[in-house]
Chains A and B, each alone.
Chain A
Amino acid sequence: MNDFIHLHVHSWYSRGEGVNSIEDLCKHSLSQNSTVFALTDTNSLYGMMTFVKEAARHGITPLIGSEIKTREQRILAWVSNTQGYQNLCRLISLRHCDPEFSLDRSLSELCSGLILATDHPHILKQLKKISAENIYVEVSPGYNMHGALSLSKELGLPPVATNRACFIHPREHALHMLLKAIEHQTKLCRLKEQELAKETHFFCNSQHMRMYFPHAPQALKNTLRIAEKCKTDWNFSDLIFPKQHKTPKSNQTLYALALAGCQKRYGTIHPAILKRLEHEMHIVETKGFADYFLIVHDIVKQSSLTCGRGSAAASLIAYALEITHVDPIEHNLFFERFLNLSRKDPPDIDIDFAWDERDKVLDYVFSRHQTNNVAMVGNHVTLKDRSSIREVAKVYGIPENDISNITKKISRVNPHQQNDSLLDPWPKILSYSRQLKGQLRYLSVHCGGIVIVPDAIQNHVPVEITPKGVPVCQWDKDSIEEAGMIKIDLLGNRSLAVIRDTLSAIQGMSIQGMSIQDRATQRADTHTLSYTTLSPLNDEHTLNIFYRGNTLGVFYFESPATRILLKKAGLSMSFATYCRANHFNINTLITSIIRPASNTYIREWVDRLRGKPWQSIHPLLNDTLSETSGIMVYQEQLSLAAIALAGFTPDEGDELRKVVSKKHRMKRLKDFEHKFRQGARLNHVSNDITQAVWEMICSFDGYSFCKPHSASYTMVAYKSAWLRHHYPAQFMAAVLSNQGGYYSTFAYISECKRMGLTVKGPDINQSQYHYTGENKNLHIGFMQIKHLKHETVTRIISERRQHGAFTSFTHFATRLTLETEQLKLLIKAGCFDDIEHIDKRPQLIWQALFGNAFKKSETIDIFTINETHTPPEMQPYSATQILKQQIETLGFTYTCHPLDLFLKPIQSIKNRIQAKDLHRHINQNITLIGWMITAKKAFSKQHEPMEFITFEDQSALFDTILFPKVYKRHCHLLGEARPYLIQGKVEDDQGVPSVHVQQIKII
């Protein structure tokens, strides 16, 4: 039995202090034969749920506490009961939210249920006045230990020994210093000694502590006393449901709403629909989810454009309440994936809103519910590969550019590979940054998670306030779920905004130049268009987009891997057959099968789609896998397979799904494997088949989707594709304006040209803030001009609207007084090329500088009295200078392809082919010129890095693969926006040509 327990331990959740993860602390504690210790992170309970979980895994008793620190004072607080936990949460919340927070004042109100220790005389005296019970004097070696012991005697308060551990081993002191420097954004030599822990403040063993306390053994014994008093029975099995206000009979209300919704969706309610509705209602009522549905329904009503996704899309109730938009009956979506009677963890409903409307929706939620009951879910931003390198390098004084160069280089090479070419101090920086990976950097807000609880949120979790003034929980989404709190995910989706903006552009589009008949048709057409009524499942043009894989700009379907798979699927059948087939299901499947869980089966699936005979791996799986040609693609198929083949209950099947995708699953997965094999044996399934199905199940440890989720997004994609075909200019303008696609702006501009659109530069009389599309023209918006202020654009547009178009630069400058730099940006971006002339750009810059200089001096207005101040004759910019200005102001060239800038060196390259002719060179070695569009790093079966890169030349996009050997040789050349010379062999990958690169060079 240890005679000392560590009651003051910081994990990496104490920013700038603790070095180690909670898992490492638990392991270390066990290695010292100590099965109890307290986690006391500074001003936080960030790691509490992880601690409780890890402690249970390692057989450790977790003691929960925190070190509350202000600039002058500090105190340790441990939780002894539920009241104490609530008080600690409140105390921490106050520390973060109250700018006038005073530790002694707050403690006087919130000390019940807490055991407190400090060496601060004033606080101790204050606390003693309230009660001396559970108040200790903290005595730590290296922190005026003898003074603290004297204080203990003087005040008659018991001492407690702590070592204020910030790391496990003294050698980690260097990491502690680095963390402190990162936290304070300073360099090592400027750290103040008093702010740092000493090398002796490590998670030492009790023998080591005894050495420091030969004269005060009571201080050591008191650690055991405190540990005994602390709360240790942490149980989070109860779900904490939100409560819909003013809805006393929520079950009845929900049923009535769902019934009405079904009526609206289906017209008549068939018995099958009613049966499904009642089945769902039964589960929802039993699990107490009615209020949750009503709250989500209320939120969804705030926007006309939403997309309910995730497993909730399998619910008929959600479909009826217009939370989701895919018919779960028609598309055979499995409700139990979302909710079943035995599911213990809380499922959540994910709703997408147009990205720029989400804040408005969040405001509504905060105003609808009591502010104290709502908070955003936190997100622990930790140091990752690149960020840890960046932060450590900054401490070492490395300039930003050098850091970016190295991180880019490192991200392309094998991280396990030694980098001998790096100069000092980079090897040291990389070594430290590896050790700091996973450290908490700061708390941010989860992209959409929101928690609503029936009472004050501070009773459940400490809360902080973001700079925008929004309350945010200290826990991340996993901890929130583990604590039983039910969250709603309200996410921003750019594609919904693209659809909204395209529809709005169509409705407001100019009808000038049309015949009266056309105008009438156009009006009728556009007025009936809306997000909900847009149902293009049978529109041939839309289907053709998916059939040919021309999906750049189409949400969810635009990545190179998806486009290639669409092409392969399209090549499996004629277009007429494709239109007759269940293309929605094929496309839903495509977006799921490309995920890591099942992408190894893509080739087999394509073969089967092309008619390769196949049989279900076992007759018991016929129903489960028939819709995916016998291949396990969706998450729920994993559960269903276990149910069908091995007799799992739905709950066990769902649990298996979760265990497969979780870390630290080994023991539980072993149990499930045993059960699975046993169950399969009982069903007379051969060992080989059991093994094959188990391997399929285990492949879901990678990223995967459930069918309802994929189906929801596929529906959005169909709407996008319809708009892309019928209103290409408006659609691409919306894609570019919302800046949210898979590709860079330049890639979309190139696609616009391939689509036959004319890309027009920014124009002072034509451009809006956003990109705009009309007929076959795409106008670049002012938003694309780098460093042009939003205010400038607003003023230009408003002036133009009020007083008409600008006739010359002088006219513009007399009407609007802008900063010189802003004027220069407009000139260089070509905004005045139409009303003046491109050759006059240098003169206009002179006028801008000249005019503003006079305006500043207030002596003369050059734009009105300019006869004596005529601009000097100036040479027009050369074509190269103009292109440079396009890149400088817009970030890309739109008047020509960037490869045109390298015509000379490109022309000297012999035997090069164009990307559009790739299919004519199958199995041939070729040379191509390409501009990098996008790249995706992957690992081979031997875990060697390789890369899939999409390039484009003036004729088309083309996909390449750099296998490990080639990648290793050339990875250092990749990454820059520049032309590349690519040599390789064209391979026919199930009908789609791709280049297997043998050599790559920079031009």
Chain B
Amino acid sequence: MRSVYFVNIPGFYIEILRLKNKTLSKRPVALVSQCVKHAYLRNISEEAREAGLEKGMFLDRARRICKDLTILPLDSKEEHKAFKPLQKWIAGYTPSWESLKPGHLFSDLTGTSRLWGSPSEVIHRMQTELSQTFGLPSRIAEASNKMVARIAAKSMPLNTTTVIETGHESRFLAPLKACVLPIVHSGPCHQTLQDLNIQYIREIQNMKTHQLFPVLGSLTHRLKQEAQGIDPSPVFSPQKQPEISRSAFMEPATNDDKKLLQTLRQLLEESLIRLRYLKQKTKSIKLIVIYSDGVQHEATFSLKESTFWEVDLFPQYVKLFEKACQRRVSVKALNIILSQLEHTPAGQEVMNLFIHENRKRDRLLKLYHSLDHIRLRFGMQAVRTGML
């Protein structure tokens, strides 16, 4: 039986800031990347949520709703830096851990009960360590898979823990609202469930597959699985993530192609540096453009040969952008996903048969190597690419 833990530190960076500044505790706090009226709330504290604020809300509106709101700038670099010790901490339990964003950690401790004790002992220990060593509040849940552990943790109050015993997943999920299941948010599933007045997971559990299949089609199988508490997805270690994604919020939202292309290039550059660091190459780039009215458009580009070099991808990104961004509505966010990753041991570069081109390429690759070194030492912002 699998034993997956989900550690959730809500408003992670806010908690980090609170550790530095005690006056922030128990006050509604929101993080924005720039302190301008049209900035979006990137993260909020529990107190802010209770005051009626939501992530993604305009700062201006949030201030009108919550007069006592403390606004702080979100420093992603600092946030990631602060999250590193936690990653190190969870890695002390198992090499099989996954972190998609700061404050969210999955760890797979299957077969380690003799080493670490029973799940309830482990989660208690984890919470104590988080509280005592790091001074952070948390919600921790243990279950037989990622989905149930995550739902369980998210449905609990702060500083509590829970263990969902194997075989009890379905019973645990039954009284919860159907919208907590991840599949409900994909495609027409949510609307169909609303039309059928299916509000709780227990109703999905009670329906037979052949009753659901004609109305939900291919989503039925996964919906039934999720409603029963089944999630076969493994906990991916950082090196084994199936894709790399980077996103950027445009603040303020803009429809200026120049600014958007600049940001996209930066995202691509960051992703490729990460790929090189992981010694992985990509064969597919997907660009998702999120407009300020919520509409999303995407475009994908597949490469003949996998790569992690700018020289191979930069000629394509403008075309990719033109394909994905055809409306004139301002763009709120850009998201780039590099997938179909292939592990490439060092030195296994395919040589170009044309010597002249080879030399030119070599020079460029050397340049990128040097830039990588500078960035590794002085940070991503130390060297920036300009556009003519």
Contact = CB atoms under 8 A, between A and B. Distances in A.
Contacts of A186: 328
Nearest to B194: A881
A423 interface: yes
Interface stretch (A125-133, A321-329, A332-340, A395-403): A395-403
Interface string A821-865: 000100010000000000001100110011001100000000000
Interface in B252-267: 252-258
B345 to A, nearest CB: 43
B197 A876 contact: yes
Contacts of A841: 197
A394 B255 CA distance: 10
Interface stretch (B146-154, B210-218, B375-383): B210-218
B38 A424 contact: yes
Contacts of A853: 213-215, 217
Contact of A423 (B60, B198, B215): B60
A881 B198 CA distance: 13
Contacts of B258: 189
Contacts of B255: 187, 189, 396-397
Contacts of A850: 211, 214-215
B333 to A, nearest CB: 14
Contacts of A854: 214
B257 A874 contact: no
Interface string B25-41: 00000000000011000
Nearest to B258: A189
Nearest to B256: A189
A877 interface: yes
B330 interface: yes
A53 to B, nearest CB: 38
A667 interface: no
A187 B37 CA distance: 24
Nearest to B199: A875
Contact of B197 (A188, A396, A869, A877): A877
A399 B331 CA distance: 10
A395 B215 contact: no
A905 interface: no
B208 A397 contact: no
A185 interface: yes
A875 B254 contact: no
B6 interface: no
A91 to B, nearest CB: 34
Contacts of B292: 397-399, 402
Interface string A854-892: 100000000000000101101111000100000000000
Nearest to B322: A190
B214 A423 contact: no
B40 to A, nearest CB: 12
Nearest to A181: B328
Contact of A842 (B38, B195, B329): B195
A333 to B, nearest CB: 55
Contacts of A399: 291-293, 329-330
B72 to A, nearest CB: 20
Given A399-B330, A853-B215, A846 B196 contact: yes
Interface in B187-245: 192, 195-199, 203, 206-208, 210-211, 213-215, 217
Given A396-B255, A423-B37, A850-B215, A881 B330 contact: no
A613 to B, nearest CB: 58
Contact of A394 (B252, B257, B328): B328
Interface string A519-552: 0000000000000000000000000000000000
User: In the complex, which of the residues B211, B214, B331 has the most CB atoms of chain A within 10 Å of its own CB atom?
Assistant: B214
B195 A397 contact: no
A400 B252 contact: no
Nearest to B200: A875
A395 B195 contact: no
A656 to B, nearest CB: 51
B131 to A, nearest CB: 41
Interface in B299-322: none
Nearest to B254: A397
A320 B254 CA distance: 66
A394 B331 CA distance: 13
A400 B330 CA distance: 11
Interface residues of A, number: 35
B197 A842 contact: yes
A397 B253 contact: yes
Interface in A433-451: none
Interface in A163-201: 185-190
B38 A872 contact: no
Nearest to A873: B206
B196 A397 contact: no
B328 A185 contact: yes
Contact of A845 (B196, B253, B329, B331): B196
Interface string A392-413: 0011111111100000000000
Contacts of A395: 328
Given A424-B38, A872-B208, A400 B293 contact: yes
A189 B257 contact: yes
Nearest to B60: A423
Contacts of B256: 187-189
Contacts of B217: 853
B330 A397 contact: yes
A395 B330 CA distance: 9
A872 B195 contact: no
Interface string A290-306: 00000000000000000
User: In the complex, which of the residues B196, B210, B257 has the most CB atoms of chain A within 10 Å of its own CB atom?
Assistant: B196
Nearest to A854: B214
Nearest to B192: A849
User: In the complex, which of the residues A401, A423, A854, A869 has the most CB atoms of chain B within 10 Å of its own CB atom?
Assistant: A423
Interface string B324-355: 00001111000000000000000000000000
A796 to B, nearest CB: 21
Contact of B203 (A828, A875, A877): A875
Nearest to A401: B293
B330 to A, nearest CB: 3
Contacts of B211: 846, 850, 869, 871-872
A841 B37 CA distance: 46
A881 B195 CA distance: 10
A842 B195 CA distance: 6
User: In the complex, which of the residues A397, A842, A846 has the most CB atoms of chain B within 10 Å of its own CB atom?
Assistant: A397
B310 to A, nearest CB: 24
A424 B252 contact: yes
B191 to A, nearest CB: 10
A869 B208 CA distance: 11
B245 to A, nearest CB: 24
Contacts of A424: 37-38, 252
A395 B206 CA distance: 51
B68 to A, nearest CB: 20
User: In the complex, which of the residues A188, A846, A869, A871 has the most CB atoms of chain B within 10 Å of its own CB atom?
Assistant: A846
A824 B198 CA distance: 16
A701 to B, nearest CB: 42
Nearest to A845: B195
A455 to B, nearest CB: 46
A875 B199 CA distance: 9
Contacts of B38: 423-424
A192 to B, nearest CB: 13
A65 B291 CA distance: 44
Given A396-B330, A853-B214, 11 more contacts: A189-B258, A397-B255, A397-B328, A397-B331, A828-B195, A842-B195, A845-B195, A872-B206, A874-B198, A875-B197, A877-B197
In order of increasing CB-CB distance, the 10 nearest A-B pairs are A397-B255, A397-B330, A399-B293, A853-B214, A849-B215, A842-B197, A187-B328, A850-B214, A189-B257, A423-B38
20 contacts: A187-B328, A189-B255, A189-B257, A190-B257, A394-B328, A396-B330, A398-B329, A423-B252, A842-B196, A846-B211, A849-B192, A849-B215, A850-B215, A854-B214, A872-B207, A874-B197, A874-B198, A874-B203, A875-B197, A877-B197
